[in-house]
Amino acid sequence: MLQLDRLLARDDARQRAIDAAVRASAVLAACALACFQGNYARTTDLARHGIELCAARGDHRGLTLAYRFLGEAALAVGADDEAEQHFECQLADASRAGDMIGQASAYNMLGQTARHRGEFRRARSLFWQALKLFREAGDPDGVSVMLSSLGEVA
């Protein structure tokens, strides 16, 4: 993470144009690392920067990831309403991109949010939607996660 931060800072200091797709990819990679490290403030900052970069390019796949990480950070700190809004944005951008796995992931996270709130019937419905998409996309890992999640709300 430190090395990626240094590379991004060095690029900023040069003040020269770097390929926007490369920059967005690096920011989203740093965002993923921050999220997995539990650094939710940094995750939020990087995700918001990723949204700026991806929106300017019309990159709906990148927006899908950025909103996912914003939602995960919000969910981790107990901001369920905010998380749900970000996961709805994730779903919308994944749909625009035709990204079935991104859509399934969004349904999963919306289901996790509902489960967290104790809305088990709604969570079950969202998990079933995610399972259907993961199956259609041929993603066995996603299928496995969804079957486990369905077991938690049975």
Q: Any idea what the CATH number is for the domain that residue 134 is in?
A: 1.25.40
Per-residue pLDDT of the chain (154 residues; tens, 9 = 90+): 555 566 666 555 555 567 888 889 989 999 999 999 999 999 999 999 999 999 999 999 999 999 999 999 999 999 999 999 999 999 999 999 999 999 999 999 999 999 999 999 999 999 999 999 999 999 999 999 999 999 999 8
CA dihedral 105, 106, 107, 110 (to 10 degrees): 120
- Residue 10: CB atoms within 10 A of its CB come to 9
Helix ranges (DSSP H) in 2-139: 2-14, 20-36, 40-57, 60-76, 80-97, 100-117, 120-137
- Predicted model pTM: 0.88
Angle between helices 60-76 and 100-117 (to 10 degrees): 20
Q: What is the DSSP letter of 99?
A: -
Structural domain of 6: 1-79
Does residue 92 lie in a domain region?
no
- Residue 141 confidence (pLDDT): 97
Whether residues 59 and 24 fall in one domain: yes
Does residue 5 lie in a domain region?
yes
Whether residues 16 and 60 fall in one domain: yes
Whether residues 7 and 72 fall in one domain: yes
Residue 109 to residues 14, 123, 126, 134: CA-CA distances in angstroms? Answer: 38, 9, 9, 13
